[in-house]
Structure 1
Amino acid sequence: MRHTPAIGPFPDKASSSLQVRLFARLREEAGWGERRWPLPAAGVSTPLDIWRQLKLNGQGTLPAGVRVAINQQFAPPDQPLQPGDELAFLPPISGG
């Protein structure tokens, strides 16, 4: 069983971060599957903002079929993120 460090409240909002997880082809394209990601000290960040920072597909929008989950619940790409959140990008899964 893999140990995942606890993610909790952060005392200094300037250094706040969240956990970003990528799956399947997104993980392969980025070369990593899980990484702590900083949140800006001012303003609101959304999953779409983080996607743009990742620069995976060279687009400012999510590719068709890619789903966003915040704290293991599907969410819209414009939902505000909070320090300590877990953000996951999930590509469509094919198979039969």
Structure 2
Amino acid sequence: MSITVRFFASIRERLGKAEDTIEYKGITTIADVWTKSAKIPMPDNVLAAINMEYARTDQPVRDGDEVAFFPPVTGGAP
């Protein structure tokens, strides 16, 4: 029973890892996933997704989910 965690862009660089697998036991929300895997306080502007769909950090997670964290997306043509 596990959750796959992926980190992208500057978050990956800051944490020094692109991926992690954590035990599902005791995990209830995306915020719990961050706490267990990143081991640092979650920045206010971090975006999250469960199974490739945007999600709030208080959203529940289930065994087998993939949770991704990435910085806000910026850019594009004016």
TM-score (norm 1): 0.68
Which is higher, the Rg of structure 1 or of structure 2?
Answer: 1
Paired residues, what number? 75
Identity %, equivalent residues:
43
Q: Which runs of 5+ in 2 are unaligned?
A: none
Counterpart residue number, 1:73: 53
> Pairwise mapping of residues 49-60 of structure 1 onto structure 2 (< 5 A)?
49-53=32-36, 54-56=38-40, 59=41
State whether structure 2 residue 24 is matched by structure 1 residue 17: no
2:68 aligns with 88
The separation in 1 between residues aligned to 2:5 and 2:14, in whole angstroms, is 15
Which contiguous aligned blocks of 4+ residues in structure 1 show a shift greater than 4 angstroms?
none
CA distance in 1, matches of 2:14, 2:2: 22
Aligned CA RMSD, in angstroms, stands at 1.6
Task: Give, in angstroms, the shift of residue 90 of structure 1.
Answer: 1.2
Question: TM-score scaled to structure 2, two decimals?
Answer: 0.81
